[in-house]
Amino acid sequence: MSTETDVRHHFRTCHLCEAICGVEIRLRGNEILSVRGDPDDPFSRGHICPKALGLKDVHEDPDRLRHPVRRTAGGWQRIGWDEAIDEVAERVVAIQAAHGNDAVALYLGNPTVHSYSALLSSVVLSRALRTRNRYSATSVDQLPHHLASLLMFGHQFLLPIPDIDRTDFLLVLGANPVASNGSLMTAPDVAHRLKAIRGRGGRIVVVDPRRSETAALADRHLFIRPGSDALLLFAMLNVLFEERSFAPGRLQPWIDGIEAVEQLAARFPPEAVSEATSIPAAEIRTLAREFASARSAACHGRIGTSTQSFGGLCQWLIQVLHVMTGNLDRPGGAMFTAPAFDLVARTQGTSQAGHFARRRTRVRGLPEFSGEFPVATLAEEMDTPGPGQVRALITSAGNPVLSTPNGARLERALGSLEFMASVDFYINETTRHANIILPPTFALERDHYDLIFHLLAIRNTVKYSLPLYDPAPDTRHDWQILQGIAARLAVHDPGRRPRLVDRLRARLLTPKRLLALGLRFGPRGAGWTPFGKGLTLARLARLPHGQDLGALEPCLPERLGPNVRIQLAPAPFVADVDRLAREMSHSMTGPAMRLIGRRDLRSNNSWMHNSQRLVKGPRRCTLLMHPADAARLGINDGTRVSVRSRAGAIAVDAQLSEEIMPGVVSLPHGWGHDRPGTRQAVASAHPGASINDLTDELVVDAVSGNAAFSGVPVTVESMTS
Ligand SMILES: Nc1nc2c(c(=O)[nH]1)N[C@H]1C(S)=C(S)[C@@H](COP(=O)(O)OP(=O)(O)OC[C@H]3O[C@@H](n4cnc5c(=O)[nH]c(N)nc54)[C@H](O)[C@@H]3O)O[C@H]1N2
Ligand SMILES: Nc1nc2c(c(=O)[nH]1)N[C@H]1C(S)=C(S)[C@@H](COP(=O)(O)OP(=O)(O)OC[C@H]3O[C@@H](n4cnc5c(=O)[nH]c(N)nc54)[C@H](O)[C@@H]3O)O[C@H]1N2
Ligand code: SF4
Ligand SMILES: [Mo]
């Protein structure tokens, strides 16, 4: 009989979402007995969500690939690592030699940012590929946030974080942190933190086309017509200027462009936008006054306000609102972090601080951002002939067939590529098109540090987790695969052979050593003094629960970097305001239903639907619809309906609910596991349908090129008549 004494405890960070909760994994031998919240993690304080057990499920998943495979006429064939990596490099070099470097594209998916070693090595591969056709999940997500930060504060990663633990007034615009656990706002146990705002006498207002789980915790919820948030924000600014109730405070001397914004806002009085937003003018005035008069206030504007056709304007105006009310860089407002590994300070003044529109895509002419093109253009770059056409693709940690607009078109284009390779441990809707799949280890076999999420957290925190397991024999980590391909490219193409010093540097500077250096020479690091008190990776490894480094602190103007001022009216945003004014009068109101997305606590984008315990229970991929719309269309709860858009059509079950605004329907993303040829047995048994067979790759945020998922015009019809 075994006893508690055989039981081991392992503490680490859950890497599945941005909340970075501490987990305690209990093991007997190598068997995981339980995954619980770690009460000693000072940041998450024992909180976890149902997905934490997904760590065990993915780790043990019999469908997870454990060795490289090659697609053959007779099915997937196991091959060795060296052979697999060599073949990828050889094909890439051959295709680039024949058609130019841009003929090979790279797509990096979301889990890349949840692994420091994958993230650092993706940069190495990206450079070695020498292609301009670089894409990532950024342009179906937070690209407008980065663009606003770059143009306003001079750095793509200077992202203001709502200080929710101290704020007196929180405006939630297009985010549902109670389901998503927060994004660009790392805040474990966010529901508790939101309740605390009201507990101390503060207020929360949620503006969303759906009365979400977060709206249920708020003082007030306002429906808004999808895609019209920029009008609301301008109208709020209009009220502030008209009533002279703005007060930028101590930052005033560092702000340029206040008059320009005032002139623009004058075009959008609340009365003029109230029909397009469907928010009464009086409500807009109240909201503006509440925000401006609160002791401190923050606006948390996320996916709903970045993945829409005015995503750029929304993210810009949210920061204008912070600046003009004196809430930027003030406790309780929107603040900046001071992380131990400080990506901002390390790259300030270099091209890695970000750049925009240095070149444009071949077919549609959309701008690059920091060396990446918007992924909404990837399919057309593949299926439009001509010089520079994309003929090969490498994906890593992504599933763009399900996650990018008009995934069906992208999928057809993947079928016509000359070569494709994927770094992923599932054969899913995207990777099934690869010629070679290279499966990395899973998180429990790696160490972990949040390069990105400490940067986005509502407190300064730091934590490093050791691997729980040794990697299984004959497996490789993401970084070894990505850097392995990069190194092998140089073998097949002598022109890419690095200089000796670069070869040495690549060999010595493993991701772990880079992390150690970044911490040691970061703002809290030990630096050159070996016996000093500062942070080192070794010291951090002895703190398995992590360490709290205190609340966020005001840091402007110093943090802006030398000679940088706050730009309140960047030209690319200003140039898009006429388009917004035009939208005010027509296309936002109209007969079509408007489709929006939603997230579910037990789901994680497209890739955790193979966990039985996470997909069981009521079906989740349903079309939420208001009873009044349903009655008009002869649809009942559970009716099978067809949903059509310009891009395509799908069939799903309707679910009637008054929580959704009339005229709007909502569907979660990441589903659609009925495509043939995947190898995820549980997911295939719970397929759902892909919202991105409806979303339109041709409609994007006009400034940044980010995907516009919110507000897609659709028609809905009963299939049972
Ligand atoms: N459980 C779970 N957690 C996740 C994920 C997941 O898939 N599942 N994904 C993770 C990822 S990658 C991200 S980026 C984050 C995203 O985190 P969030 O930004 O919080 O995303 P959502 O939960 O989708 O909330 C978006 C909200 O915007 C509303 N909305 C839609 N269109 C509009 C609009 O036009 N205007 C306004 N005002 N609101 C609108 C929707 O109704 C929804 O309530 O979540 C992360 N966390
Ligand atoms: N309509 C609509 N579409 C959306 C969204 C939406 O709200 N609405 N949200 C968008 C957002 S915010 C995001 S971030 C994207 C996500 O889009 P993607 O990043 O393209 O897709 P994911 O579903 O996150 O797929 C992640 C893939 O990585 C693999 N994976 C998991 N862990 C690892 C690892 O450690 N290493 C490697 N190599 N692979 C790993 C998984 O098996 C899976 O195949 O979806 C976007 N798409
Ligand atoms: S909220 Fe859930 S998925 Fe996100 S880090 Fe915490 S336990 Fe993991
Ligand atoms: Mo995301």
Q: pLDDT tens for residues 369-414?
A: 999 999 999 999 999 999 999 999 999 999 999 999 999 999 999 9
Rounded to two decimals, what is the model's pTM? 0.98
| Candidate of 15, 16, 176 to mutate for ligand 1, largest count of ligand atoms within 8 Å of Cβ | 176
Collapsed DSSP state (helix, strand, coil) of residue 565: coil
Say how many Å lie between the CA of residue 171 and the centre of ligand 3: 23
Structure tokens at 286: 């109240």
pLDDT value of residue 499: 87
Pairwise CA distance, residues 333 & 161, whole Å: 8
pLDDT value of residue 196: 98
In the chain, the largest separation of any two C-alpha atoms, in whole Å, equals 78
Beta pairing, strands 459-462 & 547-551: antiparallel
State which ligand 1 atom lies nearest to the alpha carbon of 598. 24
- Closest by CA to 203, choosing from 211, 191, 195, 192, is 195
pLDDT, one tens digit per residue, over 218-230 is 999 999 999 999 9
- Closest by CA to 327, choosing from 263, 247, 253, is 247
CB atoms near residue 718 (< 10 Å): 15
Collapsed DSSP state (helix, strand, coil) of residue 718: strand
Which residue minimizes the CA distance to atom 2 of ligand 2? Answer: 669
Beta pairing, strands 334-335 & 298-301: unpaired
Confidence class of residue 583 from pLDDT cuts 50, 70 and 90?
confident
Which residue minimizes the CA distance to atom 28 of ligand 2? Answer: 397
Q: How far is CA 164 from CA 109, 205, 314, 347, 396, in A?
A: 28, 13, 20, 28, 34
pLDDT value of residue 272: 96
- Closest by CA to 280, choosing from 239, 219, 224, 237, is 224
Say how many Å lie between the CA of residue 119 and the centre of ligand 2: 14
CB atoms near residue 698 (< 10 Å): 14
pLDDT, one tens digit per residue, over 604-626 is 999 999 999 999 999 899 999 99
Question: In this structure, are residues 184 and 172 in contact, taking their beta carbons and an 8 Å threshold?
Answer: no
Say how many Å lie between the CA of residue 481 and the centre of ligand 2: 19
Instruction: Check residue 187 and report its DSSP letter.
Output: -
Say how many Å lie between the CA of residue 178 and the centre of ligand 1: 10
Residue whose token pair is 């295709």: 95
Question: In this structure, are residues 18 and 186 in contact, taking their beta carbons and an 8 Å threshold?
Answer: yes
- Closest by CA to 106, choosing from 138, 83, 84, is 138
State which ligand 1 atom lies nearest to the alpha carbon of 17. 47
pLDDT value of residue 574: 98
DSSP notation for 510-526: -HHHHHHHHHHTSTTB-
Percent of the chain with pLDDT over 70: 99
pLDDT value of residue 586: 60
pLDDT value of residue 50: 97
Above 80 in pLDDT, residue 2? no
State which ligand 3 atom lies nearest to the alpha carbon of 15. 5
pLDDT, one tens digit per residue, over 472-496 is 999 999 999 999 999 999 999 999 8
Pairwise CA distance, residues 85 & 76, whole Å: 16
Confidence class of residue 173 from pLDDT cuts 50, 70 and 90?
very high
Mean pLDDT score, 173-184: 98
Confidence class of residue 589 from pLDDT cuts 50, 70 and 90?
low
Ligand 3 close to Cβ of residue 191 (< 6 A): no
Say how many Å lie between the CA of residue 299 and the centre of ligand 1: 15
- Closest by CA to 215, choosing from 663, 648, 660, is 660
State which ligand 3 atom lies nearest to the alpha carbon of 16. 3
Question: In this structure, are residues 556 and 330 in contact, taking their beta carbons and an 8 Å threshold?
Answer: no
pLDDT value of residue 529: 85
Above 80 in pLDDT, residue 632? yes
Mean pLDDT score, 523-549: 93
Which residue minimizes the CA distance to atom 4 of ligand 3? Answer: 17
Say how many Å lie between the CA of residue 141 and the centre of ligand 4: 5
Ligand nearest to the CA of 403: 2
Question: In this structure, are residues 427 and 678 in contact, taking their beta carbons and an 8 Å threshold?
Answer: yes
Above 90 in pLDDT, residue 587? no
CA 281 to chain CA centroid, nearest Å: 33
Question: In this structure, are residues 384 and 391 in contact, taking their beta carbons and an 8 Å threshold?
Answer: no
Say how many Å lie between the CA of residue 398 and the centre of ligand 3: 19
Structure tokens at 685: 């048994």
Domains and CATH numbers, the chain: 4-60 (2.20.25.90), 158-339+562-576 (3.40.228.10), 590-718 (2.40.40.20)
Ligand nearest to the CA of 438: 2
* Alpha helix ranges (H) inside 186-310: 190-199, 229-242, 258-265, 270-277, 281-293, 303-306
State which ligand 2 atom lies nearest to the alpha carbon of 439. 38
pLDDT value of residue 580: 97
pLDDT value of residue 502: 84
- Closest by CA to 371, choosing from 382, 381, 357, is 357
Confidence class of residue 721 from pLDDT cuts 50, 70 and 90?
low
Mean pLDDT score, 96-105: 98
pLDDT value of residue 590: 62
Q: Which residues line ligand 1 (CB under 6 A)?
A: 17-18, 110, 141, 173-177, 179-181, 183, 207-210, 212, 224, 226-227, 229, 302-305, 308, 596-601, 603-605, 710-711
CB atoms near residue 712 (< 10 Å): 29
State which ligand 2 atom lies nearest to the alpha carbon of 443. 35
Pairwise CA distance, residues 88 & 421, whole Å: 7
Confidence class of residue 497 from pLDDT cuts 50, 70 and 90?
confident
What angle do helix axes 258-265 and 311-324 make, rounded to 10 degrees? 120
Report residue 51: phi and psi, to 5°: -70, -20
Percent of the chain with pLDDT over 90: 94
Confidence class of residue 531 from pLDDT cuts 50, 70 and 90?
confident
Ligand 3 close to Cβ of residue 614 (< 6 A): no
Q: How far is CA 12 from CA 25, 31, 325, 400, 618, in A?
A: 8, 16, 39, 29, 31
How far apart, in Å, do the first and last CA atoms of the chain sit?
62
Ligand nearest to the CA of 192: 3
Mean pLDDT score, 73-101: 98
Report residue 452: phi and psi, to 5°: -90, -45
Above 80 in pLDDT, residue 1? no
Question: In this structure, are residues 655 and 687 in contact, taking their beta carbons and an 8 Å threshold?
Answer: no
Say how many Å lie between the CA of residue 230 and the centre of ligand 2: 27
DSSP notation for 113-137: GG-HHHHHHHHHHHHHHT-S-EEEG
